[in-house]
Amino acid sequence: MKLSDDFDARRLRPRSYRNWRLRLAAMLAALLAAFGVLLAMAGAATLLGRPPALGTLNDSPGAALVLLAVGLTLLWLGIAIWRMCRRRLRRPSDLSLAPHLLKKRN
């Protein structure tokens, strides 16, 4: 079968959408994880006997424990969202193949 000059194979593949939403979500997730690290460090510093880093917000050990727990939760949540966004960004979207035929990637 002879191919005509106006044939373009790129038309057969679906057009890929812009990844700016996933990139923005990954950036916000990284900021959330960094904020979680800072909160966890402030809570741990108060528990270890250092002066409170956030003023009167974590004067007592109970408040420091809450701050540490919130910080670790934000860190875990930020890393989970960041990994999900990175996985979706790296997923091939050109051809629809069965998952067991694709190359193994992290």
Which residues contact residue 58 at a Cβ distance below 8 angstroms, ignoring those fewer than 6 apart?
A: 42, 43, 46, 52, 64, 67
What pLDDT is recorded for position 62?
86
Kindly report the backbone phi and psi dihedral angles of residue 104, in degrees, each rounded to the nearest multiple of 5, phi listed first: -75, 125
pLDDT in tens, the chain (106 residues): 565 666 666 666 665 666 788 899 999 999 999 999 999 998 888 888 877 666 777 678 888 899 999 999 999 999 999 999 998 888 765 556 566 666 666 6
